Amino acid sequence: MEVTIQRALKVAVEAAKAAGQAARVCFDEGFTMEEKDEFGDVLTEADLKSESEILSRLGAAFPDHQIRSEESGWSGVESDWLWLVDPLDGTNNFAVGLPLFGVSLTLIYKQEPVLGVIYDTILDKMYTAVHNQGAACNEQALSIQPRAMPARLTVGWIQGHKVQQDSRAVQLRTHVEKHTKRMMRLWAPTMQWSMLARGQLDGIVLYNSEGDDLYSGLLLVREAGGLILDFKGNPFTGMNSEPYIIACPADRKEAMLKLVREGLAESVYFD
């Protein structure tokens, strides 16, 4: 298993870099796009070119692994090993010319993330995390360091694409925005996970957002020393099709739990 993960790390880093370069060319030189669903989500030429760079490399290196990718769906043979691929995390940012997007690859073994790679395309930062082996950015170790508690927290918000204006999501989101210094919605989740792993956020609240970009970020934060909890404060592990997550440094745990509990004071989550 160890040999597989180390080989996978090398291939994933190369694939993420190639995918990011393909997206960068489109970003600089122009691209085609089309609407993908009734919510206004879009599919760009860069999504497909980036995905092709990744799938060709993973398929050649690991023909016995299964793959779930953002645009093409499932491929490969059924296996204990599963790759989750988001070739362009932040497509809507990309489409409007906002230089905030990246690439996400996660290797899952028996429902547990064991390898995560996130590539911040514009800043050329490669984030890697290996289960029980730590996290790094451009091969420099990442470790969330204790900081003085601020008067008001800076918190990232991530919600699932189909959540939209769900009443409980709106209730919590409004509370978080009202009671923090800043609530950040970057529309590129992996960029927020990397900020938390660098110690630049006090926490992240994720509301029902399970996708191909999730588990690389969770692993990165966990391996950098952060906590990954459900809304009741229990450790969040494995995979969940409808996750509700609080992620934060250990010294922000109580403040983040209080924020979410107060925001959902009458919710079924705390019955």
Domain contains 46: yes
Q: Residue 85's domain spans which residues? A: 2-142
Is the domain of 134 the same as that of 9?
yes
**Domain boundary pick from 122, 142, 162:** 142
**Residue 147: inside a domain:** no
38 and 78 share one domain = yes
Q: What is the pLDDT of residue 1?
A: 79
Q: What is the pLDDT of residue 161?
A: 86
- What integer pLDDT is reported at residue 267 of this predicted model? 58
Contact 10, 16 (CB under 8 A): no
What pLDDT, on the 0 to 100 scale, is given for residue 266? 56
Task: List the structure tokens of 28.
Answer: 């600089």
Are residues 131 and 178 both part of a single domain?
no
Both 124 and 17 in a single domain?
A: yes
Residues with Cβ < 8 Å from 71, sequence gap 6 or more? 43, 47, 48, 51, 87
Token digits of residue 172 = 């919590």
pLDDT at 158: 98
Angle at CA 196, nearest 5°, toward 192 and 198? 115
Q: Which two tokens mark 104?
A: 């996400």
**pLDDT score recorded for residue 80:** 96
Classify residue 138: in a domain, yes or no.
yes
- The tally of domains found in the chain comes to 2
Question: Does residue 149 lie within any of the structural domains?
Answer: no
Nearby residues of 9 by Cβ (< 8 Å), 6 or more positions away: 115, 117, 128, 130
Residues 114 and 201 in one domain: no
CA distance 78 to 210: 21
What residues form the annotated binding site?
70, 86, 88-89, 213
Please report, in range form, the residues annotated as the binding site for Mg(2+): 70, 86, 88-89, 213
Q: pTM of the predicted model, to two decimals?
A: 0.95
Which CATH number do you get for residue 38? 3.30.540.10
Cβ neighbours of residue 188 closer than 8 Å, sequence gap 6 or more: 89, 90, 93, 100, 101, 102
User: Position 139: which residue type?
Assistant: E
Which residues on adjacent β-strands are paired with residue 155?
A: 183, 203
Q: Kindly give the confidence (pLDDT) of every residue in the chain, 271 residues in length, as a single tens digit, with 9 standing for 90 and above.
A: 777 899 999 999 999 999 999 999 999 999 999 987 767 689 999 999 999 999 999 999 999 999 999 999 999 889 999 999 999 999 999 999 999 999 999 999 999 999 999 999 999 999 999 999 999 999 999 999 999 999 999 999 999 988 988 999 999 999 999 999 999 999 999 999 999 999 999 999 999 999 999 999 999 999 999 999 999 999 999 999 999 999 999 999 999 999 999 999 855 555 5
